[in-house]
Structure 1
Amino acid sequence: MSGKLEGKVAVVTGGSSGIGLAIAKEFVEQGAYVFITGRRATELEKAAEEIGRNVTPVQGDVAKLADLDELYDVVRREQGRVDVVVANAAVGGLAPEGAAASPEHYDKVFTVNARGVFFTVQKAVDLLSDGAAIVLVASNAHSLGIPGFGPYSASKAAVRSFARTWAAEFSGRGIRVNTLSPGPIDTPIYDTSGLTREESDEFLNGIISQVPLRRMGRPEEMAAAALFLASSDSGFITGVDLVADGGMTQI
């Protein structure tokens, strides 16, 4: 029985852990050949070993245009095209509220989360096959007001806006562009929040109390949602935001 992405070529940024790794695994299980990126070589190689087959790891930082050029050079040499792009790489980070947030924090978040996504897609355009699918991983935070998450939430709102624009710009080639907006998911991104373990636990418990399903989401659940957006199951869907947050923003 063939998979839903049989014979497809996919790029997943931030594919060495968390949601990105889960997506890469699911895509390979569904028949795709996947290129994964990540900044840390050791973690990236470990992820490739975990995936086990039909995967090429390419070390790089989406904030660096030369790294994105190298990524697509590798894709071009090895496969010659891209059928699915999942722009997932991102940084989190709780900042002091309002005026106390530093310019350095703001720049880091927007450089990776917005600029990185923009150029991940822009530099893929020449390799995209007609009828390709682009999945931008945003966040339910783009529609919430979470104290201390101003730059992060705004960067994800930019990602949501990119999806609408690209859905219009690429429609003539049958290329679909959608966002996946997770809620709180059990991934290592919370380890980069700048909080202590105790502060992180307190923060997460507070978030979970706002989720109608009363739990964190799992990376595998986000992978299933990304597969839907990447496959022909969503063939008449473009420009939408698929919110997967346990009802947090919907109820």
Structure 2
Amino acid sequence: MKRAERWHALTEMLRRSGARGCTAERLATEFGVSVRTVKRDLAALEASGAPIWSRPGPGGGYGLATRATLPPVALTPAQAVALLAAVSAAPDAPYADAAAAGVRKILDVLDPVTRTRARALADRVWVNSPPTPTRAVRSALEQAMAEQRVVRIRYVAGDGAASTRDVEPIMFGSSGGRWYLIGWCRLREGIRWFLVDRVERASVTADPCGCHGIEEVGPPPVTARSVRF
């Protein structure tokens, strides 16, 4: 188990243990590591802001402050598989990796019976997804959008012509099963739609975006909608 995964699993186990907490020895046995490693992980989690408490002496241990936790997630097996299917079928969507991590967190806190039934149902759903853009390109585009900074891309047009553009990202859009980066192209001085799978390279600059907003893109098609919740 990778360290980040172990940290998440540690947090969930502490949450489930409630006010009684867990001893370092029990945690070490659960994750197959040494007590020293567990204590180092707990210290790192606490330093990162996790509300971990410790109680020394007999009957002591470690726990997670109740006020900072969420109640257990209640999903049906079908709802759990729906989340898995949606994420698996769209690996090229913006923030797909973050979505997959979020789904794993949700599945981790399902009760054992629901998790077993969800796994059985998931075996009956297959996904054959197209190749996705490189992780480096996707990460740069996602970061630029989230931080509203100019992204420098090398873009290959449909006719094979390649160019380097500085783009102020405005939004991501999906149309016809393909994802686009929509933004203000400083080279062309106008709004442009860039197919994400035609972006060969991308790097986030230190230059903040200007004042171009979603309204400049124009109204969406009548069949389109945002992913607002």
TM (norm. structure 1) is: 0.21
Point out the structure with max Rg over C-alpha. 2
Would you tell me which structure has more helix in proportion to its own residues?
1
